[in-house]
Amino acid sequence: MDNEIQLISDGTGLAVIGKSTDVERFLASEGLSSQDLGLHRLQTVFKTGAVGAQAASEIAANSGRWIKLTEQSAQAVKKYGLMDGKQAGVKHAMIGQPGDIKQWLQVAQGPGTVLANPALLAGAAGIMAQVAMEQAMDEIRDYLATIDEKVDDVLRAQKDAVLAEMVGVGLVIDEAMTVRAHVGRVSDVTWSKVQNSSHTIATTQAYALRQLDALAEKLEKKSRIGELAETAAKAESAVNDWVAVLARCFQLQDGIAVLELDRVLDATPEDLDQHRLGLKVARQERLDLIAGSTERLMQRMNAAAHRANAKVLLNPTTAPGVVRSTEHVALTMDQFHALLGIEAGRDSLEARKWVDAAVEVRDKAKDKALETGADGVDAVKRLGSETRERAGAVKGKLFTTIAERAPRRHSQKDEPA
């Protein structure tokens, strides 16, 4: 079919592969922005043999673009009904444009000639994973550039040897990514410089997470509002630093993963898909670990803010500060979670005003007084009735006692002295 293109999705991005003009027309018709997929690197998958030569020729004749899956681009995936492939988590479809540029129709036969070979489809999924991680690295770089303290400054300010070593590791990985961009692959020399960096990054990440956990524990132990406000203010400042360190760690871990996939693609392309899946699982585990620590801290911050709000009458100046610190930390965490793709959300908590608290106490007092008054009226009625009953009983007993004692008094008077 003329003007045919292939769509591939791995749940993170969408690849559009076909003749350059067809790909561009499709993207324009859907209003999607994209970046180069680097499809030419798949030519290394098939280096020899007639089949390999034919596949390499097909790759050379086609172009590939990558789109990050957003709400808009996800609609394209849904619209064209991509089919599950043999590669885990990968969907694909072959579509064609018979006439109108805005009416791309799905081809019922499924995958076409561009990436009909399973190995090539696995290779495409591998380079899609690389592009997605590179995109994430760029977003983290932009994020770090917007915060007040640059992460390297934070790391250099620490006396801990592990954090100091992290600066050097970051420089080495950044250099390796730069060389890769110019050469188009990862050589033995480049790989030898970075292959032992993972341990340092993992150690630094663990250290930063421990610092967040320590902040959470300190908040939980404080009961006096003054101490709580001071601890919350310190947490507000420290969280910015440690979140920046975690972001840098995640960025460098993605960088190593990109370099790893290049090495596997060169050395053992048949292992590329399994390696891609392994890296995907490891990346999600890192996200879960970070999310667990940051969520624990936010739970402690929220609990501290609620305690402060409850005691604002007695602490009108310090209690609102706890809430403000909590909101600042929450904003930092929300941005950080969005950056890494961690789903998290919370309701904003406003500092309770002293006047509002006083009015609430007054209203509660009024309600209590009315309730007490009503109960008092009933009590008076009950008391009056009970008193009358008791009075009658007492009166009866009194008359009985007088009647019983009167004869004794008379008999005592009649007795001689």
CATH of the domain at 345: 1.20.58
Residue 250 has pLDDT above 70, yes or no: yes
Q: Are residues 234 and 115 in the same domain?
A: no
Write down the residue that tokens 């050589």 correspond to. Answer: 187
Instruction: State which of 89-93, 163-167, 178-182 shows the largest mean pLDDT.
Output: 178-182
The pLDDT assigned to 44 comes to 66
Q: Are residues 375 and 348 in the same domain?
A: no
In a domain, 374, yes or no: yes
Q: Are residues 301 and 334 in the same domain?
A: yes
DSSP states along 87-110: STT-EEEEEE-SS-TT--EE-TT-
Supply the Cα-derived Rg of the chain in whole angstroms: 37
In a domain, 75, yes or no: yes
In a domain, 200, yes or no: yes
Give the amino acid at 339: L
Lowest mean pLDDT among 150-164, 202-216, 388-402: 388-402
As a whole number, mean pLDDT of residues 188-195 equals 94
Examine the fold and report which residue of 352, 379, 406 is the final residue of a domain before the chain moves on: 352
Q: Which residues contact 112 (CB under 8 A, 6 or more apart)?
A: 1, 4, 6, 94
Selected residue with higher pLDDT from 353 and 340: 340
The pLDDT assigned to 75 comes to 79
The count of structural domains within the chain is: 3
In a domain, 226, yes or no: yes
Residue 396 has pLDDT above 60, yes or no: no
Q: Are residues 233 and 316 in the same domain?
A: yes
In a domain, 326, yes or no: yes
Q: Are residues 297 and 388 in the same domain?
A: no
Q: Express as a percent the part of the chain with pLDDT over 70.
A: 65
Q: Are residues 169 and 302 in the same domain?
A: yes
Residue 412 has pLDDT above 50, yes or no: no
| HEC readout, 234-270 | HHHHHHHHHHHHHHHHHHHHHHHHHHHHHHHHHHCHH
Lowest mean pLDDT among 134-143, 343-352, 388-397: 388-397
Query: Rounded distance, CA 213 to CA 220, Å?
Result: 11
Tens of pLDDT, residues 272-283: 889 999 999 999
Examine the fold and report which residue of 304, 325, 352 is the final residue of a domain before the chain moves on: 352
Query: What pairs with residue 92 in β-bridges?
Result: 8, 83
Tens of pLDDT, residues 46-78: 665 444 666 677 777 788 999 988 887 787 777
Contact (Cβ atoms closer than 8 angstroms) between residue 186 and residue 180: yes
Q: Are residues 301 and 390 in the same domain?
A: no
Query: Rounded distance, CA 277 to CA 87, Å?
Result: 9
Q: Which residues contact 7 (CB under 8 A, 6 or more apart)?
A: 14, 15, 16, 17, 76, 77, 80, 82, 92, 93, 94, 95
In a domain, 137, yes or no: no
Write down the residue that tokens 């250290």 correspond to. Answer: 207
The pLDDT assigned to 400 comes to 44
> What spatial distance separates the first Cα and last Cα of the chain, rounded to whole Å?
145
CA separation (Å) from 288 to 259, 285, 317, 321? 23, 5, 38, 31
The pLDDT assigned to 97 comes to 53
Contact (Cβ atoms closer than 8 angstroms) between residue 83 and residue 95: no
In a domain, 143, yes or no: no
Q: Are residues 311 and 391 in the same domain?
A: no
Contact (Cβ atoms closer than 8 angstroms) between residue 289 and residue 209: yes
Q: Are residues 333 and 378 in the same domain?
A: no
Q: Which residues contact 149 (CB under 8 A, 6 or more apart)?
A: 240, 241, 244
Tens of pLDDT, residues 254-305: 999 999 999 998 888 889 889 999 999 999 999 999 999 999 999 998 888 8
Residue 26 has pLDDT above 80, yes or no: yes
Which residues constitute the domain of residue 71?
5-122
As a whole number, mean pLDDT of residues 249-255 equals 97
Mean pLDDT of the chain: 75
Q: Are residues 230 and 304 in the same domain?
A: yes
As a whole number, mean pLDDT of residues 76-92 equals 71
In a domain, 213, yes or no: yes
Q: Are residues 102 and 233 in the same domain?
A: no
Q: Are residues 157 and 103 in the same domain?
A: no
Answering whether pTM is above 0.85, one says no
